[in-house]
Amino acid sequence: MIKEITKSERKYFSLPNQPQLVMKCDPMCFSLFRDIREKKHQDVPHANNTHYCSQECQKLDWKMHKNECKFLQNMRNNLPCNILMTLRLFCNNMDVDLFYGNLDTLNEEQLLQFQEVSAYIANYTDSKSLPSLEKLLKYQVKQQYNLFTITDNLGNTQLGVGLYTPANFLDHKCNKNGPYENIANCSHFYMGRSLMMITNDSFKQGDELNICYTEIFNYKERQKFLKDQYGFDCDCGRCEYERTTQENLVPQEIDLIKCDFKDFSIFKNYYYYQKLLDYYLKLLDQQKFKRAFKVIQCIVHNLPTYYNNKNHPQIGWSSNEAAKLAFHLNNLLKAEYYGKQAYKILKTYFENTIEFKEVEVRMKDIEAEIKMNK
């Protein structure tokens, strides 16, 4: 979808001293997943429907939350995200008319589900007129096609969903997986609840910005997901190659338990990324720190290929994980190497955050320990 950027939207683009950062925007509305809310709810009547990370965040949100607050108090706890998001959009009369998606793109099952949600909200908000029900339906359709999944720093834990604009106007291209042209030239990460969009190495001046909507590796499964979820067939360079050659391109499985992790390059395909990350977290739970360190080194080594970007913040956070483990294992040279890499990458985007202050403190501790051992 091509969208001309208005003068008021220029604030989202090209921040100084951050040449790869092309967009930063806060959500129009967002909701944490139910299991996250259950762990972190506040002592308020509708605690399991609302959660804030700080009092400052709560104050910033009050302008919109006050319009839905009285309705939430009468609704049941632990409402699913789609109801909470629809209620907020409806109570604040948010303008989403230009967003992609309309009723014609829904299948019968989706339409029935959306009608049930509309009826539920209408019952509590005394909005049972036909225009109100149509508006509730419209908000759900726009969510279907425009939501982003919010994750933690490592990208492993999904925290909730948010509606971000103008980021939602970026078209889809698949991630790099070989020497293909016409692939995604941007990727995104989160700083708290803010979405940050950065260019990848495939970006060229004057190109239209685009992102990858899904990490599904298998060609047929990926095409089916994009068709069912967003209503289109992808024709990017990668998909065209896989379609014309009829290649599945799913690499061979590797037994991570038996792997010695001496050759990191065998994991260069991003197909392995989530498997490695899950295995790493499992090793941490089992307190097998030496092996976990090998795995996180493998992840850091391959992340520039996975993201098609040697300065992606995920590389910084994973390097920070490697520095913490190396320091714990008293491998000071490795701790220094990964600590400096984390510091260099993360300073660009996270310099004034609490998380980055912890990176700075650890780096000073590592340097002090090295100095003492000389």
Question: From CA 20, how far away is CA 349, in angstroms rounded?
Answer: 10
pLDDT in tens, 6-47: 545 544 444 445 567 778 888 888 887 776 666 654 444 444
The percent of residues above 70 in pLDDT, for the chain, comes to 86
DSSP secondary structure, 303-370, as one string: HHHHHT-TT-HHHHHHHHHHHHHHHHTT-HHHHHHHHHHHHHHHHHHHTTSHHHHHHHHHHHHHHHHH
pLDDT recorded at residue 11: 45
Residue with tokens 């492993």: 156
pLDDT in tens, 233-264: 898 888 888 888 866 566 788 899 999 999 99
195 near 24, Cβ under 8 Å? yes
pLDDT in tens, 202-215: 787 778 888 999 88
Question: From CA 355, how far away is CA 349, in angstroms rounded?
Answer: 11
Q: Quickly count: other Cβ atoms within 10 Å of residue 273's Cβ.
A: 20
265 near 290, Cβ under 8 Å? no
Locate 288 and state its tokens. 């097998």
Q: Quickly count: other Cβ atoms within 10 Å of residue 335's Cβ.
A: 25
Question: From CA 211, how far away is CA 222, in angstroms rounded?
Answer: 15
172 near 226, Cβ under 8 Å? yes
The percent of residues above 90 in pLDDT, for the chain, comes to 30
My answer on whether omega of the bond before 166 falls inside 30° of 0, hence cis, is yes
| Helical residues (DSSP H) of 126-233, grouped into ranges | 130-146, 219-230
Diameter of the chain measured on Cα atoms: 77
| Helical residues (DSSP H) of 232-288, grouped into ranges | 237-245, 273-285
Question: From CA 237, how far away is CA 179, in angstroms rounded?
Answer: 9
Nearest by Cα to 29 from 91, 76, 115, 108: 91
Average pLDDT over residues 53-59: 71
Nearest by Cα to 172 from 229, 218, 97: 229
pLDDT in tens, 78-124: 788 888 999 999 999 999 998 988 888 778 888 899 999 999 999 88
Residue with tokens 């804030």: 52
How many CA atoms within 13 Å lie on the side-chain side of 112?
3
pLDDT band at 53 (very low <50, low <70, confident <90, very high): low
Nearest by Cα to 117 from 164, 79, 160: 79
pLDDT recorded at residue 37: 65
How far from the centroid of its chain's Cα atoms is residue 36's Cα? 16
Computed on alpha carbons and rounded to an integer, the radius of gyration of the chain in Å comes to: 23
pLDDT in tens, 182-202: 788 888 888 877 888 888 887
- pLDDT higher than 50, residue 358: yes
pLDDT in tens, 130-164: 888 899 999 999 998 899 988 887 777 888 889 99
Q: Which range, 236-240, 268-272, 323-327, has the best average confidence (pLDDT)? A: 323-327
47 near 60, Cβ under 8 Å? no
Question: From CA 155, how far away is CA 280, in angstroms rounded?
Answer: 13
pLDDT recorded at residue 183: 81
Question: From CA 303, how far away is CA 299, in angstroms rounded?
Answer: 6
Task: List b or e across 340-356, with b for residues whose CB sees 16 or more CB atoms inside 10 angstroms.
Answer: ebbbebbebbbeeeeeb
